[in-house]
């Protein structure tokens, strides 16, 4: 019945007749991101003093009064420090201002802002956008240095630092899409003043001085593109190397509960399911299958990684010394039971057993048996941090353990007991494997195919636009790039709208829609798509009755439902 009611009325006329209305809205939607800038070692985001500069003339603004504090020349070294929860600004020995409430904004119209002597990838750290020096919540006389810039510029400083450009253009595009998703939807709500941090705790962001031509192009050709599941952006996790088999989200991550505890296994996410590179590979949740897989070299997309397979060894006394410290340290996380308070309570190591595994063979619980009891370690990150070698955590929790006794050649010497850990992969192994993406690109897969391999039942779309008459947001324009002319306009219209107009590449489409809370409407717009850059403007008819939002986006790669 809906098919008889829904109609697409397409009116063709010269694009110039639409120039005024279309060009009144910029192609970019101006989505901004705030990034916490850390120290050189990526360990600290809280400061009480910082020296800032810029590559061109710059100025400091007190945002509490929206007034200019002072103006400076290129390369001036300006000290900002906080005392009595007020900012002081100094140039050399001259106090330029004090008693500033802040936040203090650093603006350079024609150049880059920088923190003096801060290095990224061995180079001075230059940043697009502005700095905001903002008091840290609930921390007296401390502040955050926050880089505020548009999302696409931010991604230019992320993609080449998260993935080597040698991995290829399609892999870089997949990385760009997922990095965009992550910036919009981080895994955990940030407790700081900013959306994301600049380290591996979020995703690596080194700023403008590390941008590369090919990764810039990957960002440009995926502008406004997102990976979506059921109409919402996916949580875009990725790690260096999965080892040939990715893991379910819930088997690697915990869920923060309202009472402050963390539940493991976590809440599952339907698109973050473990997938083997070879569909013939069985589930590796049993010890036998995990051992077979990680002690062999099957052909996968990850084979080129130096961490595809790895081995760590300890003598028994060495590992005991490690475990006494690491179990005590990790007990504070709640994932070590019983809690080890004193190292002398550890005892003598008897055996190590993985008592629960995920679909990729990832250790979810490891039993460490001693003569004083058994310690149960849960969750991949804690397991990796417990089994350290030379103060370095295990590359991944895709691991099997063996204890071997070596008889000495000298009969007067005691046998030597060794613990050997064999495994595969580097990182948490959930979502996209970056080395795997590089190999898939090499084999000719598109970035859409790469993403859909690692994120099940996921569509590739433009980022959703939400329009409504309530906030005066009745029009928005997006630019997006695609080689796939097959596309659908998706309209999630749960309320009163009956007519929506879009202008796609200069052609106006007037859509008659029916409100429905059950399923989005999809309109085939393939004949109006072009190979390369496309531009679409969404417009709502104004009505006092239409106060509820409507969500629209273009689906350029349909989800594969498996």
- The pLDDT tens digits for 78-94 are 999 999 999 999 999 99
CATH 2.60.120 range(s) for the chain read: 2-28+466-557
Rg (CA), the chain: 27
More confident residue, 474 or 117: 117
Lowest-pLDDT range, 3-17, 163-177, 252-266?
A: 3-17
Is 2-28+466-557 CATH 2.60.40?
A: no
More confident residue, 546 or 419: 419
Residues 331-352 have a mean pLDDT of 95
Residues 533-544 have a mean pLDDT of 85
Task: Write the pLDDT tens digit of every residue in 122-154.
Answer: 999 999 999 999 999 888 999 999 999 999 999
Residues 164-184 have a mean pLDDT of 96
> What does pTM read for this prediction?
0.90
The CA distance from 142 to 49, in Å, is 8
The CA distance from 384 to 398, in Å, is 10
* Band of residue 271 on the pLDDT scale cut at 50, 70, 90: very high
Residue 7 pLDDT > 70:
no
DSSP strand pairing (104-107 vs 130-135):
antiparallel
Q: Can you give the pLDDT at residue 24? A: 27
DSSP strand pairing (49-54 vs 225-229):
unpaired
Task: Write the pLDDT tens digit of every residue in 441-494.
Answer: 999 999 999 999 999 999 999 999 988 877 667 889 999 999 988 999 999 877
* Band of residue 29 on the pLDDT scale cut at 50, 70, 90: very low
Lowest-pLDDT range, 154-163, 201-210, 254-263?
A: 254-263
The CA distance from 312 to 352, in Å, is 14
The CA distance from 175 to 225, in Å, is 12
More confident residue, 348 or 415: 348
Handedness of CA 413, 419, 420, 425 (dihedral sign): negative
- Are 49 and 80 in contact by the 8 Å Cβ rule? The answer is yes
Buried b (16+ CB within 10 A) or exposed e, 444-455: ebbbbbbbbbbb
Q: Can you give the pLDDT at residue 443? A: 98
- Are 182 and 200 in contact by the 8 Å Cβ rule? The answer is no
Residue that is written with structure tokens 């475990």 in the block: 323
Nearest 5°: CA angle at 87, between 82 and 93? Answer: 85
* Band of residue 513 on the pLDDT scale cut at 50, 70, 90: confident
Handedness of CA 227, 231, 233, 234 (dihedral sign): negative
Task: Write the pLDDT tens digit of every residue in 377-401.
Answer: 999 999 999 999 999 999 999 999 9
Residues 254-268 have a mean pLDDT of 91
Q: Can you give the pLDDT at residue 174? A: 98
Q: Can you give the pLDDT at residue 126? A: 97
Residues 331-359 have a mean pLDDT of 96
Q: Can you give the pLDDT at residue 57? A: 97
More confident residue, 485 or 282: 282
Lowest-pLDDT range, 21-35, 307-321, 356-370?
A: 21-35
Residues 521-536 have a mean pLDDT of 95
Residue 505 pLDDT > 60:
yes
> What value does the mean pLDDT of the chain take?
90
Q: 230: how many CB neighbours lie within 10 A of its CB?
A: 12
* Band of residue 188 on the pLDDT scale cut at 50, 70, 90: low
* Band of residue 519 on the pLDDT scale cut at 50, 70, 90: confident
Q: Write a three-state SS string for 434-493.
A: HHHHHHHHHCCCCHHHHHHHHCCCCEEEECCEEEECCCCECEEEEEEEECCCCCEEEEEC
* Band of residue 244 on the pLDDT scale cut at 50, 70, 90: very high
């Amino acid at each position: 019945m809906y098919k008889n009611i829904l109609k697409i009325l397409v009116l063709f006329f010269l694009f110039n007749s639409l120039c005024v209305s279309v060009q009144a809205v910029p192609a970019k939607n101006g989505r901004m991101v705030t990034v916490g800038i850390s120290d050189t070692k990526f360990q600290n985001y809280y400061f009480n003093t910082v020296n800032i500069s810029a590559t061109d003339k710059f100025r400091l603004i007190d945002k509490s009064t929206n007034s200019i504090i002072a103006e400076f020349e290129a390369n001036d070294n300006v000290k900002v420090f906080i005392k009595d929860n007020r900012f002081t600004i100094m140039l050399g020995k001259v106090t330029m201002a004090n008693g500033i409430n802040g936040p203090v904004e650093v603006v350079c119209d024609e150049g880059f802002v920088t923190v003096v002597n801060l290095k990224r990838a061995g180079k001075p750290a230059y940043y697009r956008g502005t700095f905001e020096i903002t008091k840290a919540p609930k921390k007296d006389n401390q502040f955050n240095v926050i880089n505020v810039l548009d999302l696409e510029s931010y991604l230019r400083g992320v993609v080449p630092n998260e993935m080597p450009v040698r991995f290829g253009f399609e892999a870089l595009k997949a990385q760009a899409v997922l990095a965009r998703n992550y910036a919009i939807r981080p895994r955990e709500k940030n407790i700081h003043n900013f959306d994301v941090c600049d380290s591996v705790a979020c995703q690596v962001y080194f700023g403008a001085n590390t941008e590369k031509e090919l990764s810039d192009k990957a960002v440009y050709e995926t502008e406004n593109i997102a990976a979506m599941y059921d109409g919402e952006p996916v949580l875009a996790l990725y790690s260096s190397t999965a080892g040939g088999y990715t893991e379910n989200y819930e088997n690697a991550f915990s869920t923060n509960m309202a009472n402050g505890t963390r539940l493991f296994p976590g809440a599952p996410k339907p698109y973050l399911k473990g997938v083997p590179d070879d569909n013939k590979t069985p589930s590796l949740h049993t010890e036998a299958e995990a051992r077979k897989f990680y002690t062999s070299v099957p052909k996968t997309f990850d084979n080129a990684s130096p961490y595809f397979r790895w081995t760590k060894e300890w003598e028994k006394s060495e590992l005991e010394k490690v475990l006494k410290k690491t179990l005590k340290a990790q007990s504070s996380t709640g994932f070590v039971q019983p809690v080890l308070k004193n190292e002398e309570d550890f005892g003598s190591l008897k055996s190590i057993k993985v008592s629960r595994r995920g679909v990729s063979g990832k250790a979810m619980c490891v039993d460490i048996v001693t003569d004083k009891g058994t310690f149960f370690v849960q969750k991949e990150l804690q397991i990796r941090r417990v089994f350290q070698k030379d103060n370095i955590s295990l590359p991944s929790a895709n691991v099997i353990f063996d204890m071997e006794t070596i008889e000495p050649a000298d009969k007067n010497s005691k046998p030597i007991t060794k613990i050997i850990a064999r495994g595969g992969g580097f990182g948490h192994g959930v979502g996209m494997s970056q080395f795997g993406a590089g190999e898939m690109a090499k084999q000719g897969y598109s970035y859409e195919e790469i993403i859909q391999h690692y994120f099940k039942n996921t569509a590739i779309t433009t980022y959703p636009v939400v329009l409504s008459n309530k906030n005066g947001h009745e029009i928005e324009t997006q630019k997006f790039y695609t080689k796939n002319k097959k596309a659908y306009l998706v309209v999630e219209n749960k309320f009163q709208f009956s007519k929506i107009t879009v202008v796609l590449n200069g052609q106006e489409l007037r859509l008659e829609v029916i409100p429905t809370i059950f399923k989005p409407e999809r309109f085939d717009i393939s004949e109006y798509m072009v190979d390369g850059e496309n531009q679409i403007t969404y417009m709502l008819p104004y009505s006092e009755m239409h106060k509820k939002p409507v969500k629209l986006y273009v689906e350029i790669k349909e989800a594969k439902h498996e």
